[in-house]
Structure 1
Amino acid sequence: MSGRTDLDLGLTPDVPGTPGLLPLDIERVERVVGHLNFDATTALALRVLTGEPASAGRD
């Protein structure tokens, strides 16, 4: 399997708050991951996906 570069995903990383970019909505992550009923997984997903990405301050 190889990566593809010919697909337009419609992501606009230069526009904050657009779909597909971090951070994600807290309530949505809780709902989607919370159904697993494993508190550690939900807590990790919330920490990783809902906070500012580490690269946010880089220019």
Structure 2
Amino acid sequence: MDGLRIAEKSIELLCAPGLHSPTTAYARALNQAVWQEREERPLAERLEPFKAEFLATARRSLT
């Protein structure tokens, strides 16, 4: 998880400021997936909204 936090901060420094919130939300969702008990919903289904928001924001920042 330390590597993920470092990577999150690297994205914040290298990319648009608007990426911080979606990156943090996605990192927290990944952290919960690793450390929390399994839920009935598939992992991909739980992470998809956070991943989609992060990728959409990243794409917008590149244009």
TM-score (norm 2): 0.35
State the structure with bigger RCO (CA 8 A, min sep 6), 1 or 2: 2
More helix per residue: 1 or 2? 2
Q: State the structure with more CA Rg.
A: 1
TM-score (norm 1): 0.37
